[in-house]
Structure 1
Amino acid sequence: MTIAIKHKTSGEIQFVESLSGYQKDWAQYGPVLPTGTEPNMLTLVGAAWVEDPAKIEPMLLMLIKSEAERRKMGFLSAGGAKKAEYAQKAAEVSFYDSLGGSVVTILAAIGALTAAQRRAKFGYALADAAAFGEPTITNAIERFRSGMASSDKVPAIAAAEAKTCAAIKAATTAVAKRAAANAVSWPA
C-alpha cells in the first residue's frame, strides 16, 4: 500500500510504502494511492487521488517524441553533422531542379554561375562528382535524390508525431491524453 505523507511546515509531499521511520512532523496526506499508478503523476482531488493531466502530459509527449526519434533513426544516420549534410544535399537537389527542365538547360545555368557561386550552391555535388571522376554534377544529384527516396518515411513519422502531440496537448483529461498517445498511427 502506497500512501502520501506531507511535511507539516514545508508542505512537501512524499510517496512512501509506510510511515515507519518518519518523525512527528510528517503526517499521512489523503487516502491510499491507487495501485499501479505513478505517484508523481497524481493530484489529490477531494478525497481521491487522480491522475493529473498537467503532470502526465510532459511524460506522454516525451514518450511520443522518443519513439518518433527512434523510428526516424531507422532511416537516417546518427550525428548532427550527418543530418546537416543531408539537409544541404536536399537543398542542392532542390536548387538543381529549379534551374530548368532539361539537363542541358540546367548545366547551362550552372555554367553561367561563377566558381564561388557553384561552390556555394553545389558544394557536396561538386565534391561527389570529383570523387567519382565525373565531369558534371548530374550523377551526384541523382545519387543524392536516390538517398533522399530511401528515407522518405521520415516526414511521415514526423507528421504522425506532430499530430499525436497536438492531440495530447488538446486533450483536457488524463484519460483523454493517454488515449491520444495510444492512438498514434506510425507509418509502416
Structure 2
Amino acid sequence: MSQETELKLTLNPAALEQLRAHPVLARAPLVGTPGVLENTYYDTPELQLKGQRMALRTRRDGDLLLQTVKCASASVGGLSARPEWEKPFTGAFDFSDVDQASVRQLLDKLKPELVPVFTTHFERSTWALVPTPGVQILLMLDQGSIATQGRSQPLCEVELELVSGNPRDLYALALQLARDLPLQPEDVSKAQRGYRLFLGQAP
C-alpha cells in the first residue's frame, strides 16, 4: 500500500499556455513525455463500491496496463491523503496485494458483479519541482474528458503530488502559482465526478 498526498486544483482551459510558460515550470524538467491516459472505473450495478467510498480502475498508459484500488479520504481545500494499491493488470482483477483485510474481502466478494461504469481520457504532462531544498513535488497537468452513457464533460486540472516535504509545501506552491493563474482548489475527485455524470447529478 502507498499513501498518496496531493493537492488538486481546477484550471480554466484558457490559461493552459500561461501555465506552461510560468517561471515555476520553465525552470523544472518534464518527467518523461506527455502521454494519454485511458481509465475505466468499475463498480457493481448497485454502485456498492461508491457506497463504501472506494474506487477501482484500470489505466492504460501506452503499453502499460494497471489496476488501482483507492479508498477515499476527506478532502479539505483540495488536499487529500488516501491509501491506494496499484499493480499490473493482466485482464482479471486480483486483489491479493490489498493489505487491509476488510477492503480485500469486500473486493473479492463483489468481483463477479463488477462492470465498467465510466471512463476518463486525458493527456497528462508532469513536471518535477524542487521549490525549496528537501522538498520535491510533482506537478501534473491533466486535460481531457469524463464520459459515460453517451454523456461527457471536460476535464482540466492540476495535481500537486508530494514526493518529499510537508503538505504545507503543496499549499505554498499552489499560492505561488495562483498569484498569476486562475487556479481553484478542487475537493471532488475524478471518480466522484464520473459517478455524478453516470447518475445524471448536477455538479
Q: TM-score under structure 1 normalisation? A: 0.25
Higher RCO (C-alpha 8 Å, min separation 6): 2
Q: TM-score under structure 2 normalisation? A: 0.23
Q: Which protein is bigger by CA-based radius of gyration?
A: 1
